[in-house]
Homo-oligomer: A and B are copies of this chain.
Amino acid sequence: MAVYTHLAAEDMAELIAAFDVGDLCSAKGIAEGVSNSNWLIETTGRDGTGARFILTMYEFRIDIGELPYFLALLDHLAARGCPVPRTIHDRDGALFRIVDGKAVALIEYLPGVSVSHPTPGQAEAVGRALAQMHLAAADFPAHRANGMNLAESRRLFDACGAQGLAEIDPALPALVSRELDSLTAAWPADLPRSVIHADLFPDNVLMLGDRVTGLIDFYFACNDLIAYDVATTHAAWCFANDGTHFDPALSRALLAGYQAVRPLSEAEHAALPVLARAACLRFIASRAYDWLNTPKGALVMPKDPMAFARRLDFYADPANAAFA
């Protein structure tokens, strides 16, 4: 959550001049993004009445070859009425530019705030927006494999080692090995596929009241089972932050909102608990890896892996199968 690169105002003005958006009026580094730097940019606008944008510089963890997938997806979804920010193309039509060897993209600014304590009305709106996105993405022509699938979770857990996992929590090694085996065996491979967001936490949704004004941060987007995205979003929205206190009202609202736009098939419905366990395992894996590999005093505090172990326990308990 930091700005990793200093861009002199003079260089920023030159960069902004490569886009047809008017002259630079203001650039504030914003404390968002873990692997990129972001600035809230204000310009005079094409018509002189002012315009705002987010400028993103990709710092780590991104393959520039994948940027066109993420940035063209924003255009594709925005053109179909989804509340996602459009990519501003430069004067040559390019989706991104290179500054000091790093890719930078100019992205539409959207109003809205990320809620910390969602209401059922907000969860329902997020369900609707997610379903709308899945439908709108159906004819997106590009393809990207899910880099955070079960195989990647297994690779990350192997890198942590049983001893590392036990340092985080004594119960973690057994939970991980049980779930890796069980989920691999139970994986529902033939469900409908589309582009999925794969990381739709409240942080990545902008809202004004009960209205979704922006789905943002598509840098985990990929082609995978649609119901896996529903399960991921469910795990991200329907619990207290530390994974305790499942909220059935949020769960009902999220799924009702989703199904009002795109009803889940019976097979998708039945698969939700398994997919939700896989989603939890994916976040346990990346958080456990970061937990063990983040130097003390680093800019970004690692997140607690056990917050998703608690969610996983919820989904693995047959008594809770009725959530779906």
Contacts and interface: CB of A to CB of B under 8 A. Distances in A.
B24 A2 contact: no
Interface in A1-36: 1-3, 8-10, 12-13, 24-32
A10 B1 CA distance: 20
Contacts of A30: 28-31, 40
A135 interface: no
A171 B170 CA distance: 55
A116 B6 CA distance: 10
Contacts of A206: 26
A115 B3 contact: no
A208 interface: yes
Contacts of A299: 2, 299
A117 interface: yes
Tally of this chain's copies: 2
Contacts of A307: none
Given A2-B2, A28-B32, A31-B31, A113 B12 contact: yes
Given A3-B31, A299-B299, A26 B111 contact: yes
A147 interface: no
Contacts of A112: 25-26
A48 interface: no
A178 to B, nearest CB: 34
B116 A9 contact: yes
Contacts of A318: none
Interface string A101-134: 0000000000111111100000000000000000
Interface of A: 1-3, 8-10, 12-13, 24-32, 40, 42, 111-117, 206, 208, 295-299
9 contacts: A1-B2, A9-B113, A25-B208, A27-B113, A28-B30, A28-B31, A28-B32, A28-B40, A30-B30
The 3 tightest CB contacts between A and B, nearest first, are: A297-B297, A8-B116, A29-B31
